Amino acid sequence: MVRGVWAAIAVVAVTVAGDALAGPADLAPHRAIYSMGLASTKSGSGIAAASGTMSYQFEDACDGWLVENRIAVTYAYTEGGQALSATDFITWESKDGLHYRFRMRNTRDGQVTEEVEGQADLKGKGLGGTARFSRPEPMTLALPKGTLFPTEHTLRLLDVAQGGGRSFWRVVFDGSGLDGPYEVNALIGPQSQALPVKPVSTLLGSPHWPMRLAFFPVSSPEEVPNFEMSLAYHPNGVAQEIVQTFKNFSLKGRLDSLETLPRRGC
């Protein structure tokens, strides 16, 4: 789902034994709507309040996985005034994890502030590849050996959790900006019983893992993550709770509605 990270998390690669214990995850096509609100701020952030919604739609498109993610949040500032910030992010990823297309648009009060579009390809499992951007301008970016695309990363992450692993580190490219791939470090907590469910859904009937993800730009030497996210992840890939942590503030997402989407007949 949305990119995320935590500060001061040690980067620990998962062991081969942990991978060997894992079984294949089965991701459920679904549409989830979250209410977003301000969870915390740091001194000097300038943000007094925040509220909005996030929608996340995950579909089986036969030849790949289709993800549509939209977040729209209105920020109120300590010095007065407010602004509506929105991001639309659409991706397609082949089921072999080797091909990826992406399109992202940011707006502020309806005015486009950033657009990113392109495609990326890997030479094979565990190999590097190339990302080619068509927006904001044509450019090519080399992807290092071992790079994963987002859905392949989610599958691997859940497999490690199923096998009892407690950490997972990989390089991930999601196309959400021109920064290039990120080193993503995940810490996985012990599986917990299902959280109190609202809305009621069979998609949330299984125990979940509390996880913390930290994203470090490969191109930057900084030891502090660029972005963080914590979530309650179910084995089917549904996230029940989400906290997105930026450098000066954090947002919390509460699940408002959840819908199972049909698997397409291919």
**pLDDT digit string, tens, across residues 78-88:** 999 999 999 99
Going by pLDDT thresholds of 50, 70 and 90, the confidence category of residue 39 is very high
Query: Per-residue pLDDT averaged across 95-122, rounded?
Result: 97
Tell me 218's DSSP state: T
Span 116-146, pLDDT tens digits: 999 999 999 999 999 999 999 999 999 999 9
pLDDT at 41 exceeding the cut of 50: yes
pLDDT mean over 80-103: 96
CB 159 within 8 A of CB 24: yes
- pTM over the 0.75 mark: yes
**Nearest residue to 14 (alpha-carbon basis) of 215, 162, 180:** 162
Residue 201 pLDDT exceeds 90: no
What would the mean pLDDT of 178-184 be, rounded to a whole number?
Answer: 90
Burial class (CB in 10 A: 0-12, 13-18, 19+), 189: middle
Q: Could you tell me the CA-to-CA distances from 240 to 75, 178, 237, 249 in Å, in that order?
A: 24, 29, 10, 21
CA proximity to 27, closest of 56, 3, 55: 56
Contact status, residue 185 vs residue 170, Cβ threshold 8 Å: no
Per-residue pLDDT of 209-259, as tens digits, reads 999 999 998 877 777 888 999 999 999 999 988 999 998 999 999 999 999
Closest CA to 56 of 27, 86, 90, 24: 90
- DSSP conformation class of 203: G
pLDDT at 8 over 80: no
The 10s digit of each residue's pLDDT in 139-159 is 999 999 999 999 999 999 999
Q: Is the pLDDT of residue 61 over 70?
A: yes
